[in-house]
Amino acid sequence: MKYTLEVVADYNDGDYLTEMSDITEKHLEKLKPLIKAIKGCDGDWNWRDTDNQSGPYVDFTIHELEDFDGFLPYAPDGLHIHTVESIYVYEKPKKKRLL
């Protein structure tokens, strides 16, 4: 099964960006523990600075964190994402040839 992952993120205290990416079921399963950690964060900001593995992310490798970074929208002007507002997953419909 193939999916689309939609991530809405804040990079400038109220400036939101959305990124939609294709993702396999296997890759989605690998991200679920990290998504759960993001969901469980307390405070205003729930995503890390560039190489920060502290707080709820201490159990994740840099590779795992950078893998999720690939699904985040790109923040302009040298700013970075500090809050993941929402994550949705959509099942991709199967394509059927009609002609």
What are the angstrom distances between the C-alpha of 75 and each of 8, 19, 26, 42, 68? 12, 11, 27, 23, 15
Please tell me the pTM assigned to this model.
0.86
Q: Are 9 and 99 in contact (CB under 8 A)?
A: no
- Structural tokens at position 88: 């949705």
Give the pLDDT of the chain (99 residues) as one tens digit per residue. Answer: 899 999 999 999 899 999 999 999 999 999 999 999 999 888 778 888 666 666 778 788 889 988 999 999 988 888 889 999 999 999 998 888 999
